[in-house]
Structure 1
Amino acid sequence: MDMCTEKDKEELVEALVTAAGAAFLSLKETTQEHFYFYVFVFDEGMHPYISAWSYEALEKSIKEQQITDEDKSWWKWDSADSPYAVYGYDEFFGEVGTLLDQRASKLSDDELYETEWEVRIELMEEAMKRLDTFGLFGTGKERECVVINVEQAPPDGDGAEYDRALRLNPPSALLSEYLETCETPEND
């Protein structure tokens, strides 16, 4: 059962928007690279962080890690192996951490790892929607050259990332390519 109010949720969404927005913007401005993938990641540590891939970082990583042609298609989307995984966490996510810890203190372990887990992912998705509405990931044709998502680590395996990607992105060839690497939803 969710023990937090709508006001609590909105406060957390705003903190997520502020933190992720600042981290993504800092990453773009600092690197001056051409990003095609922005992802908000939630892992078993219960605190979200960002990751991203640019074409420049991908090319460099493929060479340095000696990624085979066979593995390039999934490597391109592997948020954990991006050199920008957890970018700006210490700098931008302090308030988010405080709010999440406050929420967790009101919950049992069962509530935390069941209901609250889902709530946090939903709020992260809402934060990405708002950042997209602000134009952080581009607009028009520029936006079609970018994929955004909320992922959980390890992957959920139930197709939720696939569904979130469909909700968060306009149709594009790049989105189709990304979806090929996602677990597909169960057919009902």
Structure 2
Amino acid sequence: MCTEKDNEELMEALITAARAAFLSLKETTKEHFYFYVFVFDEGMHPYISAWSYESLEKSIKEQQITDEDKSWWKWDSADSPYAVYGYDEFFGEVDALLDQRASKLSDDELYETEWKVRIELMEEAMKRLDASGLFGTRKERECVVINVEQAPPDGDGAEYDRALRLNPSSVLLSEYLETCETPESD
């Protein structure tokens, strides 16, 4: 099992990698981003994705997205042209730490306990990046949605709950939440 020190080391690596990737994306493209997401998939290694208004408009035209599908396409992190942006450049230390952690765990531990720990650390990383002002402040921040997504979604509404925890209330957040699987009522 990984220690609190191991978790903090991974947290710092996640913050460093995600900050560098998001900043590089913003500086390289000079586009107006409305969605930043940290994605965790069955490969067990996180990556970023994002959407800007410019990339959305271009993608809708190129992919011939129908009016009916535009509302979910706007938030589909897998189809963003910026999915996995900067992975090779910025996530080397994260990869090494995750591989090191995995080597100490059984498959059951890796795909149960460690899976949850990694998503929780990614959420905390996004929270800390947000607190640093990376995604904007005040009114500017209300024009951006951030989240941590699992691919494929697990169906338990965790993505919805994380979005509520990570974002201030806004019209844009409400729009995003409409595309998320909601938590089941008890």
Scaled by the length of structure 2, the TM-score of the pair is: 1.00
Which residue of 2 is the match for residue 165 of structure 1?
Answer: 163
State the secondary structure of the residue aligned to 2:156: coil
Offset of 1:156 from its aligned partner? 1.2
Match of 2:82 among 81, 84, 87: 84
Question: What is the DSSP-based 3-state SS (H/G/I as helix, E as strand, rest coil) of the residue aligned with 1:152?
Answer: strand
CA deviation string 1:164-187 (max 9, x = no partner): 000000000000000000000011
How much does 1:10 deviate?
Answer: 0.4
Paired with 2:120 and 2:179, the residues of 1 have a C-alpha distance of: 21
Q: Percent identity between the aligned chains?
A: 92
C-alpha distance in 2 between matches for 1:154 and 1:137: 25
Structure 1 CA distance for aligned equivalents of residues 29 and 168 of structure 2? 26
Once the 2 structures are TM-superposed, how far is the Cα of residue 14 of structure 1 from its aligned partner?
Answer: 0.3
- Alpha-carbon distance in 2 for matches of 1:16, 1:128: 9
Uncovered stretches (5+) of structure 1, i.e. residues with no partner: none
When the two chains are superposed, the root-mean-square deviation of aligned CA atoms in Å is: 0.3
> Which ranges of 4 or more aligned residues in structure 1 deviate by more than 6 Å?
none
Q: After superposition, what is the alpha-carbon deviation per residue over 1:18-51, rounded to whole angstroms, capped at 9, x for unaligned? A: 0000000000000000000000000000000000
What is the distance in 1 between the residues matched to 2:155 and 2:175?
A: 18
- Deviation track 1:110-149 (CA, whole Å, cap 9, x = no partner) reads 1100110000000000000000000000000000000000
CA–CA distance in 2 between the matches of 1:163 and 1:141? 22
Task: Tell me, yes or no, if structure 1 residue 75 matches structure 2 residue 53.
Answer: no
State the Cα deviation string for residues 69-125 of structure 1 (Å, max 9, x = none).
Answer: 000000000000000000000000000000000100000001100110000000000
CA distance in 2, matches of 1:15, 1:167: 22
Distance 2:19 2:155 in 1: 27
1:102 match: secondary structure: helix
What CA distance in whole angstroms lies between the structure 1 residues aligned with 2:114 and 2:184? 23
